[in-house]
Structure 1
């Protein structure tokens, strides 16, 4: 032990002696950087020693300071986006550097990474790409940076609520789109159990976003499964570069016309604090809080869940005209039964024999003029007075062939409007933080944590109220300019989230069971009809009679509703208990420098990834009642680029292999070529392939939804569990045909056809794209593209009908009480072709004015009969904007006006199918800068003319929202 202490003492002495020696050998470089025009201090400016990697960034006051072992003289390179770079000589160790940078923004100078996973000018990208910078975020009229994706060329956004948006490109989109990768700081942002990307719920606060890049089209070759139609990368600010304390307060108001809700406040508060503690250590903390009254999904159209399409369709009628009305955004009215079916159930429960019914029907046939009162007198005289007392006699009377008041008329329970069951308060709170440490001048280690929670609404097969949803991500990363290695995990907790449709149905049953409600309804109906009432009025009065005492108004907070909403689905409630997780390791190495390939104009990079999904819903979402389900994925990729003919031609070839536990391995190649026609004018060609493994829900979901249909994953283990091999499942069209034959009086069971199931496998596609991007006179940037795609093994679903009875009877599939419907994930047969084009311009005008505009088009080819493509996009969309980043005194004023238009289109969703009307909207803002504090005041609004529009069938109507904001230390 004494020897150990002696060694420690010697080490301490050696360190004490060495530190002063090292200190004597270092040079401290310090100074400040300002804007040459306005004399404002410039933050986040790069200051490096020319020819090396040693350097730093200016802080929020424009100052910089770092040490180096290199002795003067040497040259500093000072650079920042939007300014002309400058070189400054340092001649002595005590020099204090003062530099003025001249603003010099040139279109096309932006550097992007996502297109090839290596930095390159956006003008030279081999595929279509869009980029949003910090400056663009600062000057947008949109409510948040995430909303800005809406204005990009080729993008469609489906809005399920104020804080829940799903991004898609090139046609295929839905609420919770799974055909587009979304990476936040390199992490997959998709919830492992719920499957939707949560970038607008969890992730970065607005003040911490450095940039966003959107890669439309196939991207699996570099980014793996899920990149069928694009990848979004959202990158945060490094605390070494962006330092200081910033905050932003945004206050607004929406629902100003009280059309759907009363006028309500909007709050959005955020802050960021980052500090470089030393040359090696820096940290950052971010927080954001959003609260508002949500947009309301208020479609009242009548809907049939079995007609015209696999997901149903709109039909004529309203609650006043159709007894079986099922409103799109009314819940609880999915419960539906035929009056004759209810009568048969009541007769069986009362113990009526066929002989008794024959006798009663005989009396009515012999006495056609007998009214219900006379029939009751007959029953009392025949010793069957108990049937009168129990209220069964009106059903016998109405169901008799002599009266036939009931027929095969279906009647639905009375539903509740979405506003009556879903809490209107949308809430989102984000908290992120990170510690960064420079192990060397070239290697940076970091640990970052991301946490988000809140309330929102999501449209899936039903409408889901996401209450107290919590998602956390933790990332450990080592990063070098040539390589990185990271491990991260995603932890999902659905909180008190519930299925609004199922919960409301169960609430109806808890208030008054259908076994009591329907007999009351039918008895009243028979009485009204028997007294000469007309069909419509009799149904309306009968509903009012059965609904006596029914709670009205907002029932979402009632004790009865909450008791159901907080009971797990597996136990007969509406709550889903998703606690799924995702664990990922990935790494990448650019070998170019280490192998000396730069001298031959060659680039070579390799990468690997390993994922594990751990599904844990306790049987409320997945088939995991016996324990958690694990799914493993492994992937590896490589890319080689070669510049030829003095950089006139750049060829790139990529390839990736991925393997999933439940599926065979897949190889995905990509090839591209960029031809330099002239300086700043490039023609690009690319051939890409992509695929996606079925999502965790596609594989393992086992969930009964609002219409009584069971959503079932496509893995054969689930079909075996429900005994498809011994209890056949029939196709929906064949069941409908059999039902029609039964109604015609000649039931033909031979019309029933069993649903067949092939191999369940990943969906794949291949596409070809050609594009041109060019810069004219440093002022006009033009980008055009066209693509052609072909999809195979399209992941969709089929509806099958099975008897609930172990012993099959063909009549079972015609009775809602003796059958069950499954919506089963399958691969659709055949191939599907898509095509489209897009064009955009960005024009720099004098005095800081600029104009941007884009037009794009997507379409799908002929589809096989019954094929559901979910190609939810208008054929044509237009975005235009006029901006000014600085005018008036000292260029302190700014403004932005953005216009969006899209034509109507057919929206196909698992929630419903219907036409979404065309939309047009204008967003605008004016701003004023306070240079002394680097602050900005903004007054603006989205959809300022309050023209309500929807982006999906059954989704909310989006109106105007108007705000005032103040941001401190934001530029």
Structure 2
């Protein structure tokens, strides 16, 4: 019965569609598209009815043909990457049309906005600008447009992982560059808890990027704090200009001939974009991207000296205090004599307490002269120490007493715990999912209201003050903006969520602690070492090997159920919940920091009949730090940072040959004094398309949120980073 019903419905739908198609008379639209300069046909050109999704693309001969139910007059839009879009109204004949496209990528004629916040030819911009348009993006020999930025003149890239890259154009680079601004459609996409952009993990997708503009020099006068080493502006496509549905699939291989994997690993990325406008009044777009791959492995086992912050020779076998670069847990290190002295004093006190204050082991054993052989101490203990205490004195006290009284037995050096390789602690299964969308409404041809959202989540690896495994973290940017030809009002927020991210070095260290606490591991190591050294036939290296084997007994091995159980407990426990006394250990972040930003600008040039160019603007920003005590000192207090700024720019053209522009910006952060940054530029037009420019500009940055309020355990829990504000000076005294 259900099958018959389905067939009936299907037949009815076909009949209805046929009737509709017959009633709606279709017309054929056809023609040819060619290059205006060379007269050669251009394949792949998009030809659509403006404001509609109906259309086609040209074939290898530059020809196109499609049918539409639209009745003349209607407008055809012809567009192709690297060429200027052509629009033509069709009033009668719709076949045999000819379109000639003119290249829009003429060197020096590209229009840029970033140099002075107003459109101008790149050759006439007052400061140096590098630009990537759609033609360059499409032809870039790189996995993505963001990777291709490193090919721009003067750009340096620092790579932390497959999806995490940092750019720099001036001075020294850093894994997280806080001196470099990165904006997406006017939004600062820095992570509020980090104060730098996490690459393009949350940002524009490959199919939605329109252009990229880079200011290589200082740019704080227009774009605020942070622009010391440059400013990168990425602009997405306008749904009124770029409509339709597009898909893209990329695949490749990495880890070829890599001993860490059995086979090469596949790289896959899928992108999609949809955009539509109605009557040039309302527009909408949606973009999606998903990447999956195996990240690069951290396999640098070189030895590192944390005291001198320099590499050193040796490995786990030859150096008792070995600390491998990509080995975690071995950061925990203690001096052998210091531990010995602490254990001797604690055990002596315990014996004194157990005897009711009547037996001081050190006083008793000091009755023997210096240099007394070890066996003689045992004989003395058996003859003079109460029977109830003999075993404890011989096994738990004597080795440490003997080493303290005979320093030659115990070297004055550090030993470190045995660590775990990064590959056993970090999630290398890289994923990156990005989604963006926007709704646009044109009140007039020049005034537009837009609501825009960019959201991304993923798994990656980041190297900062430590090695961080970023798992399932996400960042969202949400904006509401009203703009016209001469003004804009914009408000946006950046929402950062750490997901399941954790510190890999602390994970390695705490797996060790769960297996055997350092308070037990180091005494066992030293006691075994001393016992081995009493045998003249045992070398120092052999004694260390025996001591490590004994102390590492029952150690959780990577891949074992014990290791996985301990690691999962630690990865799912927040850093702030760590309580070593109760055996609770956590390496997980709990960051839910937010940024709120509001700004506006007005261009008065039209009011002055363009005799001068005059712009003013202002902004306000709030950092709302919420890490639950896992990054910042906010476990018991709220931390907000307010910042304000105002800027102005005045430009005047003297004749047709010289233009002078003066700009300035004042920034104030609640924790620091205000800062004024000026910029003065001059452009002298020597001849058509030949200009000489000179500029003076400055840049600065406020101390980052972490510079101010960080309170973070690093180095496997052996060190702590604290903020630089005066309130932190005596925090741990």
Q: So what's the TM-score if we normalise by structure 1?
A: 0.65
Cα distance between partner residues in 2 of 1:393 and 1:99: 100
Match of 2:662 in 1: 653
Partner Cα separation in structure 2 for residue 441 and residue 114 of structure 1 = 23
What's the CA shift for 1:176? 1.0
CA contact (8 A) 1:419 1:554 kept: no
Residue in 2 that maps onto 1:588: 601
Partner of 1:630: 640
> Displacement of 1:82 after TM fit?
3.7
Q: Mind listing any 5+ residue stretches in structure 2 that lack a counterpart?
A: 1-28, 59-63, 353-358, 579-585
Partner residue, 2:456: 452
Q: 1:437 to 1:61 in 2, by over 3 A?
A: farther
Residue 196 of structure 1 deviates from its aligned partner by 2.6
Partner of 2:292: 291
Between structure 1 and structure 2, the one with the greater Rg is 2
SS of alignment partner, residue 566 of structure 2: helix
1:764-775 matches, within 5 Å, as none
State the 1:80 CA deviation. 7.1
Paired with 2:559 and 2:256, the residues of 1 have a C-alpha distance of 21
Name the CA shift for 1:588/1:509 in 2 (closer, same or farther; >3 Å): same
**RMSD in angstroms over aligned alpha carbons?**
3.1
- For the 8 Å contact 2:45–2:78, the answer to whether it is kept is no
Residue 614 of structure 1: how far off its partner (Å): 0.6
1:379 and 2:388 are equivalent in the alignment: no
Give 1:268's aligned residue: 269
In the alignment, is residue 561 of structure 1 matched against residue 562 of structure 2?
A: no
Instruction: State how far apart, in whole Å, the 1-side matches of 2:85 and 2:201 are.
Output: 38
Structure 1 pair 60–326 and aligned structure 2 pair: CA distance change class (3 A): farther
Whether the 8 Å CA contact 2:361–2:393 is kept in 1: the answer is no
Q: 1:33 to 1:305 in 2, by over 3 A?
A: farther
Answering whether residue 240 of structure 2 is matched by residue 252 of structure 1, we say: no
- Give the corresponding residue for 1:279: 280
Aligned to 2:19: none
Aligned equivalent of 1:697:
706
Cα gap change, 1:154/1:335 in structure 2, threshold over 3 Å: closer, same or farther? same
Structure 2 CA distance, aligned partners of 1:304 and 1:512? 25
Closer, same or farther: CA 326–652 of 1 in aligned 2, 3 Å = same
- Residues 643 and 670 of structure 2 are in contact (CA less than 8 Å); yes or no, is this contact kept in structure 1? yes
What's the TM-score, normalizing by structure 2? Answer: 0.85
CA offset digits 1:622-663 (Å, max 9, x no partner):
1112232111111111112222231x2221111111111111
The answer as to 2:540 corresponding to 1:540 is: no
Task: Provide Cα deviations, 1:537-593, integer angstroms capped at 9, x if missing partner.
Answer: 321232122112212235797121121122221221211211111111112222222
Question: How has the CA–CA distance of structure 1 residues 45 and 671 changed in structure 2, closer, same or farther, with 3 Å as cutoff?
Answer: farther
User: Displacement of 1:198 after TM fit?
Assistant: 2.1
The correspondence of residues 82-481 of structure 1 with structure 2, limited to 5 A, is 82-83=82-83, 98-104=97-103, 105-262=105-262, 263-307=264-308, 312-352=309-349, 356-360=361-365, 363=368, 365-367=370-372, 370-371=373-374, 375-383=377-385, 384-387=389-392, 390-401=395-406, 404-481=408-485
Q: Which residue of 2 aligns with 1:642?
A: 652
Residues 389 and 138 of structure 1: CA distance in aligned 2, closer, same or farther (over 3 Å): farther
For these two proteins, the number of residue pairs brought into alignment is 668
TM-fit CA distance, 1:184 = 0.8
In the alignment, the residues of structure 2 paired with residue 299 and residue 322 of structure 1 have an alpha-carbon distance, to the nearest angstrom, of 16
SS of 1:508's partner is helix
* Counterparts of 2:376 and 2:56, CA distance in 1: 92
Name whichever structure is richer in strand by fraction.
1
| CA distance in 2: counterparts of 1:717 and 1:32, whole angstroms | 73
CA distance in 2, matches of 1:450, 1:33: 38
SS at match of 1:301: coil
CA distance in 2, matches of 1:32, 1:711: 68
- SS of 1:524's equivalent? helix
- The residue that corresponds to 1:25 in the other structure is none
After TM superposition, the structure 1 stretch with the greater mean CA deviation from structure 2, 475-484 or 572-581, is 475-484
Q: 2:689 aligns with which of 680, 689, 692?
A: 680
Matches within 5 A, 1:739-750: none
Pair 1:46–1:121, CA change in 2 (3 A): farther
Distance 1:361 1:683 in 2: 88
Measured after TM superposition, the shift of residue 85 of structure 1 is 7.8
How much does 1:87 deviate? 8.9
Aligned counterpart for 2:676 among listed residues 651, 667, 670: 667
Q: Distance in 2 between matches of 1:685 and 1:78?
A: 40
Asked if 2 retains the 8 angstrom alpha-carbon contact of 1:46 and 1:79, the reply is no
Contact (CA 8 Å) 1:301, 1:328: kept in 2 or not? Answer: yes
Deviations 1:730-786 (A, max 9, x none): xxxxxxxxxxxxxxxxxxxxxxxxxxxxxxxxxxxxxxxxxxxxxxxxxxxxxxxxx
CA shift for structure 1 position 439 = 1.5
Q: Is the 8 A contact 1:326 1:334 kept in 2?
A: yes
